[in-house]
Chains A and B, each alone.
Chain A
Amino acid sequence: MTGRLVGGLALLAALALVPQLASPFWVFVLATAVAYMVAALSVNVLLGQAGMVGLFPAAFVGLGAYFAAIVAGETGSWVLAVLAAAAVCLAVGAVVGVTGTRLRGMAFGIVTLAFALAMEAVAFRHGFLGIDPAFGATLDRPVLLGVDFIDDVSVYYLVLAVAVVTWAVVALHERARPGRTWRAIRDDEVAAMTLGARVGLYRIWAAALSGAVGGVAGALFITVQGQANVESFTTFASLLIFAAAMTAGTRSVAGAVLAGLLLAALPELLIELAITGKVVPLLFAFGVLTSLKGHDGIVGGVRHAASALRARAGRRGGRGIGGPPRPAVEGGGADG
Chain B
Amino acid sequence: MADGPLLRIEDLTVAFGAVTAVDAVGFDVPARGTIGLIGPNGAGKTTLLNAISGFVRAAGSIAFDGRELLDRSPVARARLGIARTFQQPRMFGDQTLLDHLRVAADHAPGDALAPAGAVEAVGLAAPLDAPCRELSAHEQTLAEIARALVQRPRLLLLDEPAAGLVPTEVAELRVAIGRLTAELELAVLLIDHDMDLVLQASDTVHVLDFGKRIFAGTPEEVRSSQLVIDAYLGTDWEAA
**Interface residue ranges, A against B (CB under 8 Å):** 177, 180-181, 183-184, 186-188, 190-199, 319, 323-324, 326-327, 331-333
Contacts and interface: CB of A to CB of B under 8 A. Distances in A.
Nearest to A201: B75
Interface in B117-156: 129-131, 133-134, 147-148, 151
A199 B76 CA distance: 11
Contact of B92 (A184, A196, A199, A319): A184
Contact of A319 (B75, B107, B134): B134
A180 B102 contact: yes
Given A324-B133, A327-B93, A196 B79 contact: yes
Contact of B106 (A180, A190, A193): A180
Contacts of B104: 195
Q: Which of A188, A199, A327, A331 has the most CB of B within 10 A?
A: A188
B151 A319 contact: no
Interface residues of B, number: 32
A199 B134 CA distance: 26
A319 B131 contact: yes
Interface in B86-117: 86, 90-95, 99-100, 102-104, 106-109
A275 to B, nearest CB: 37
B84 interface: yes
A30 to B, nearest CB: 34
27 contacts: A180-B103, A181-B103, A181-B106, A181-B107, A183-B103, A184-B92, A184-B95, A186-B93, A187-B93, A188-B92, A191-B86, A192-B103, A193-B75, A194-B78, A194-B84, A195-B103, A195-B104, A195-B148, A195-B151, A196-B108, A197-B106, A319-B130, A323-B131, A324-B94, A326-B94, A327-B93, A331-B93
Contacts of B78: 193-196
Interface of B: 53, 55, 74-75, 78-79, 83-84, 86, 90-95, 99-100, 102-104, 106-109, 129-131, 133-134, 147-148, 151
A188 B144 CA distance: 13
A332 B108 CA distance: 25
Contacts of A183: 92-93, 95, 99, 103
Contacts of A194: 53, 74, 78, 83-84, 148
B148 to A, nearest CB: 8
A197 B107 contact: yes
Contacts of B100: 184
A196 B107 contact: yes
A329 to B, nearest CB: 12
A118 to B, nearest CB: 31
